[in-house]
């Protein structure tokens, strides 16, 4: 009952957040940024090159003062409009969709050639300018102007689609800082998904500084998500709603990490010395395992977290584990992945059966389901297909054993007891001797 209450509170918090963002009105609207809306618009429209620079029809020059100014003008136009009083012609959703459409256009290939737009230099300028513009919005007092600020951070995932380093660093800053408002952190966590997938390595061109810089760039995104997921959590004195909010945010971090698609950024049996490529400035003399994806997701499935994960968090971890491809990381322990996914499937079926007695009841005893079981069953079925394709001992048999059960759940039927018994028996005989995420590299998982 306590767990069900937590889940219900979680959904209430989500609903209230959306309601707050959509319909809330500030009791004391702060001054709009950029002066009048006409002044903001005039600055954007008077820059005759800015649209061509955004689209790649004209090429920006690195550190060119005029191009930097165009980037600033464009960033202010797309972000600061959110702070202006709305008219019948304009709305928050229009501002957000205009920005999303522009970013999509910037990242699309040129239709006539099929090649990427030649606008990466300007994208880097634009990304830095967007961060500056967004920071200015978030300096406002959230108590006085909550609606504007929530609408602004909802644009973070769109900013992240540029895959620009300054935007990524800003998202990491929002996640890591203790003083960050949880609504801001929520959308920063969502946005980090755009920096996935990563490419795992166990055989590198160690003479290439560019390769190493790219590797460490990927690792910093993975590491912040991993640390957030596995961080110590003190829930003493917290209400059920506050605990539910912690699970809610952590689930977003698990979802983003789950799109990594590789076991780790780097996993080497023998540590790699960095001095050869001049990377000692990172503070590390050597690398062995960087950007831990699989070990973190495995810890979620193994209940090896300071605050036990909910079934929803585990389901996101399952999807992430099933996406993992070990093409470039032969040391990845795919057999352990199959076992942990199997354990979670058992828990999923058990929790469904408990809940089924409530939401399938007739009359006043009928309750809402605590999980979107139908949807989750279909998602699990698809993920098990990925797990089978990506390997691991018993992955094909696990999919076969789970399919009829998930089909029943997908129709809100009671699973056949014999099929459930078969699934339990199969998972019980899966090997669990090696509890390392990597076979020959220390990365132990504790089963709880």
Distance CA 407, CA 382 (A): 12
Going by the DSSP 8-state scheme, the letter that residue 416 receives in this structure is: P
Higher pLDDT, 259 or 9: 259
Confidence class for position 9, pLDDT limits 50, 70, 90: very low
- Per the structure block, which two tokens stand in for 220? 């910093």
Instruction: Read off the pLDDT of each residue in 170-177 and give the average, rounded to a whole number.
Output: 97
Instruction: Read off the pLDDT of each residue in 228-232 and give the average, rounded to a whole number.
Output: 97
Among 10-24, 35-49, 125-139, which is the least confidently predicted range?
A: 10-24
Tens-place pLDDT, residues 304-357: 999 999 999 999 999 999 999 988 888 999 999 999 999 999 999 999 999 998
Instruction: Check pLDDT > 50 for residue 11.
Output: no
Of 423, 428, 429, the residue nearest 406 (C-alpha): 423
Instruction: Read off the pLDDT of each residue in 244-248 and give the average, rounded to a whole number.
Output: 96
Confidence class for position 88, pLDDT limits 50, 70, 90: low
Q: Identify the pLDDT of residue 175.
A: 98
Instruction: Check pLDDT > 50 for residue 192.
Output: yes
Chain-centre distance of CA 341, in angstroms? Answer: 20
Tens-place pLDDT, residues 261-300: 999 998 888 887 777 666 665 677 788 888 999 999 999 9
Distance CA 90, CA 347 (A): 48
Which residue(s) pair with 290 in the sheet? Answer: 266
Distance CA 12, CA 7 (A): 9
- Per the structure block, which two tokens stand in for 313? 């968090």
Q: Which residues are CB-neighbours of 409 under 8 A, at least 6 positions away? A: 349, 352, 373, 374, 376, 377, 415
Count helices and strands in the chain by DSSP H and E runs: 18, 4
Distance CA 302, CA 318 (A): 11
DSSP per-residue string spanning 195-213: G-----BSS--TT-HHHHH
Distance CA 84, CA 41 (A): 11
Instruction: Check pLDDT > 90 for residue 367.
Output: no
CA distances from 142 to 146, 147, 151 (A): 5, 8, 12
Q: Rg (Cα) of the chain, in Å, rounded?
A: 24
What are the phi and psi torsion angles at 77 (to 5°)? -65, -45
Distance CA 345, CA 295 (A): 19
Among 210-224, 252-266, 304-318, which is the least confidently predicted range?
A: 210-224
Q: Identify the pLDDT of residue 362.
A: 65
Instruction: Check pLDDT > 80 for residue 4.
Output: no
Q: Identify the pLDDT of residue 15.
A: 45
Instruction: Read off the pLDDT of each residue in 4-24 and give the average, rounded to a whole number.
Output: 45
Q: Identify the pLDDT of residue 205.
A: 65
Mean pLDDT of the chain: 89
Q: Identify the pLDDT of residue 14.
A: 46
Instruction: Read off the pLDDT of each residue in 65-87 and give the average, rounded to a whole number.
Output: 93
Confidence class for position 433, pLDDT limits 50, 70, 90: confident
Confidence class for position 206, pLDDT limits 50, 70, 90: low
Q: Identify the pLDDT of residue 10.
A: 43
Q: Which residues are CB-neighbours of 219 under 8 A, at least 6 positions away? A: 265, 266, 290, 291
DSSP per-residue string spanning 88-124: SS--HHHHHHHHHHHHHHHHSBPTTT-SB-S-HHHHH
Tens-place pLDDT, residues 376-385: 999 999 999 9
Its pTM stands at 0.91
Higher pLDDT, 30 or 22: 30
Distance CA 403, CA 409 (A): 10
What is the enclosing helix (H) or strand (E) of 244? helix 240-257
Instruction: Read off the pLDDT of each residue in 117-121 and give the average, rounded to a whole number.
Output: 93
Q: In a 3-state reduction of DSSP, which class is residue 271?
A: strand
């Amino acid at each position: 009952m306590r767990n069900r209450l937590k889940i219900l509170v979680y959904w209430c918090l989500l609903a209230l957040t959306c309601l707050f963002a959509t319909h809330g009105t500030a009791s004391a609207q702060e001054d709009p940024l950029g002066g009048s809306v006409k002044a903001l618009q005039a600055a954007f429209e008077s820059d005759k090159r800015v649209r061509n620079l955004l689209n790649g029809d004209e090429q920006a020059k690195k550190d060119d003062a005029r191009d930097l100014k165009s980037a600033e003008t464009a960033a202010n136009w797309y972000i600061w409009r959110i702070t202006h009083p709305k008219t019948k012609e304009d709305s928050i959703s229009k501002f957000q969709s205009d920005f999303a459409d522009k970013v999509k256009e910037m990242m699309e290939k040129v239709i006539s050639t099929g090649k990427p737009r030649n606008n990466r230099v300007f994208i880097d300028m634009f990304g830095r300018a967007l961060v500056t513009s967004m920071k200015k919005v978030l300096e406002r007092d959230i108590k006085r102007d909550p609606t504007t600020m929530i609408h602004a951070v909802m644009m973070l995932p769109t900013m992240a689609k540029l895959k620009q380093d300054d935007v990524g660093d800003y998202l990491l800053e929002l996640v890591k800082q203790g003083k960050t408002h949880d609504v801001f952190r929520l959308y920063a966590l969502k946005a980090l998904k755009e920096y996935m997938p990563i490419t795992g390595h166990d055989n590198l061109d160690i003479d290439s500084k560019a390769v190493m810089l790219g590797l460490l760039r990927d690792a910093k995104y993975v590491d912040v998500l991993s640390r957030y997921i596995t961080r110590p959590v003190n829930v003493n004195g917290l209400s059920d709603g506050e605990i539910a909010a912690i699970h809610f945010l952590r689930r977003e971090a698990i979802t983003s990490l789950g799109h990594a698609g590789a076991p780790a950024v780097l996993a080497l049996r023998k540590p790699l010395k960095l001095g050869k490529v001049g990377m000692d400035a990172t503070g590390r003399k050597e690398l062995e395992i960087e950007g831990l994806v699989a070990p973190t997701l495995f810890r979620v499935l193994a209940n090896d977290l300071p605050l036990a994960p909910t079934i929803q968090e585990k389901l996101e971890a399952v999807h992430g584990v099933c996406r993992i491809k070990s093409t470039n990381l032969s040391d990845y322990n795919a057999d352990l992945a199959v076992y942990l996914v199997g354990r979670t499937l058992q828990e999923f079926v058990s929790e469904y059966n408990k809940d089924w007695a409530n939401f399938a009841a007739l009359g006043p005893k009928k309750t809402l389901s605590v999980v979107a079981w139908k949807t989750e069953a279909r998602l699990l079925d698809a993920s098990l297909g990925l797990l089978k394709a990506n390997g691991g001992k018993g992955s094909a048999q696990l999919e076969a054993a789970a399919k009829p059960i998930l089909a029943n759940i997908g129709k809100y039927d009671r699973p056949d007891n014999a099929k459930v018994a078969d699934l339990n028996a199969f998972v019980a005989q899966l090997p669990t001797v090696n509890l390392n995420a990597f076979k020959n590299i220390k990365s132990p998982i504790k089963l709880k």
